[in-house]
Amino acid sequence: MMKLKELRKLDKDDILEMMGLQSRTSTGAWLAGTLGTFGVGLLVGAGLGLLMAPKAGRELREDLRDRFRRVPSDADDAIAAMSGRESQSPNASKPY
């Protein structure tokens, strides 16, 4: 039989284990782990794709620099398109 001082030291998982049960992880924790793993895989894949690109290093760096400079205006264009507003950006896609 356990003494009162020993009972106070038990936490939730200890009590559940005594009953043959275990804690249940939340869906949010599972989703965060899954999305984190997906994000890491996405970054690794993008990095490997850049390393294996058929362009010269200088040309690849220039292309990346241009793309990163366009990101803020491209994001503004995407947000404007989702909200139904017309974009004022000169980089906006125009139908042909």
Reading the block at residue 88, the tokens are 């004022």
* φ, ψ dihedrals at 41, nearest 5°: -60, -40
DSSP state of 16: H
Higher model confidence: residue 20 or residue 37?
37
Q: How many domains does the chain have?
A: 1
Is the residue at 66 inside a domain? yes
Is the residue at 45 inside a domain? no
Is the residue at 68 inside a domain? yes
Per-residue pLDDT at 80: 78
- Kindly report, residue by residue over 45-96, the tens digit of the pLDDT: 988 887 787 878 788 888 878 887 877 777 777 777 777 765 455 555 555 4
Is the residue at 71 inside a domain? yes
Per-residue pLDDT at 40: 95
* Spatial distance between the Cα atoms of 88 and 76, rounded to a whole number of angstroms: 9
Is the residue at 4 inside a domain? no
Is the residue at 82 inside a domain? yes
* Spatial distance between the Cα atoms of 87 and 26, rounded to a whole number of angstroms: 41
Is the residue at 16 inside a domain? no
Q: In terms of residue numbers, what domain contains 80?
A: 58-86
Query: How many Å separate Cα 41 from the centre of its chain?
Result: 10
Per-residue pLDDT at 92: 53
Per-residue pLDDT at 96: 46
Is the residue at 40 inside a domain? no
Per-residue pLDDT at 34: 92
Coarse DSSP helix, strand, coil percentages of the chain, rounded to the nearest 5 percent: 65, 0, 35
This model's pTM is above 0.75: no
Q: What is the DSSP string of 30-61?
A: HHHHHHHHHHHHHHHHHHHHHHT-SS-HHHHH
